[in-house]
Amino acid sequence: MSAHLLGVVTLIYFSAALLFLVARVFQRPRLDWLARGGLVLGWGGHTGALIYRWLESYQLGIGHAPLSNFYESLVFCSWSLVGVVCLGFWRQTRAYLGALVATLAFLLLAYASLGGVDSRITPLIPALRSNWLEIHVITCFISYAAFALGFGAALLYLIRTRQPRPSKGEADPIPSAGELDHLIYRTIVIGFFMLTLGILTGAVWAEAAWGTYWSWDPKETWSLITWLIYAALLHARLVKGWQGKRIAILAVVGFLAVLFTYFGVSFLLPGLHAYLT
């Protein structure tokens, strides 16, 4: 049942992405509001699907939060991305940024459903039987979601600065450079805070599960690399006064590190986190 509901949500996100683009290209504000409504509707259904999958695990007698394998992480990552937008950056997310968010959410769910990912609900392996599971995974994926939004804003910033200003009376399809720069900063601050919590809770959990706080596992190492990139970004902005293009480029580099930490490490660098695949 939860899989069927997620299939519907996938189509809703796809429709919302299309509506955002059509609204922008053809200058139809009503379609923009319809796209926003679709995003909220999709997130509501997405939330329901997660709750239902949680209940399904209890019906199987192995009840646990739907955060324990690669399929569930993809579903939760998509949910976190839309959730961060709906709850934290609703006003700023419109037009192309809304289309990007809806597209990323759609692609994550489509990959989970159609990419050959094992979607079965299975018992937790011993290392995952911990109260730290929910805290660690939730903080990490909220950070990924915030970084993804910062990445989208950074891309738009780089396009914005290379695009001539529209003539007087013509609608501007991309937010101002100042607005995008501020959005990059806010999303990175939130993402950095949540990633820091994720790394700390993961270290405490690792000590309980494997007897050491840090073992230089590939996932841990790349999480630290990602953290250092965003730390450098915030240092450059707050101490050195960097703004604009250089910060946008660092936000793009940071998100590439996030993608490798999530996908690259899982498939290319086996380690203690190999259960995620």
- Give the model confidence (pLDDT) of 162-177 as tens digits: 876 666 656 666 788 8
Q: How far is CA 20 from CA 8, 35, 94, 202, 265, in A?
A: 18, 6, 7, 37, 33
- Give the model confidence (pLDDT) of 174-207 as tens digits: 788 889 999 999 999 999 999 999 999 999 988 8
pLDDT at 172: 65
How much of the chain is helix, strand and coil, in % rounded to 5? 75, 0, 25
- Answer whether 0.85 is exceeded by the pTM: yes
The yes-or-no verdict on residue 149 having pLDDT over 80 is yes
The yes-or-no verdict on residue 277 having pLDDT over 60 is no
Q: Is residue 43 very low, low, confident or very high in pLDDT (cuts 50, 70, 90)?
A: very high
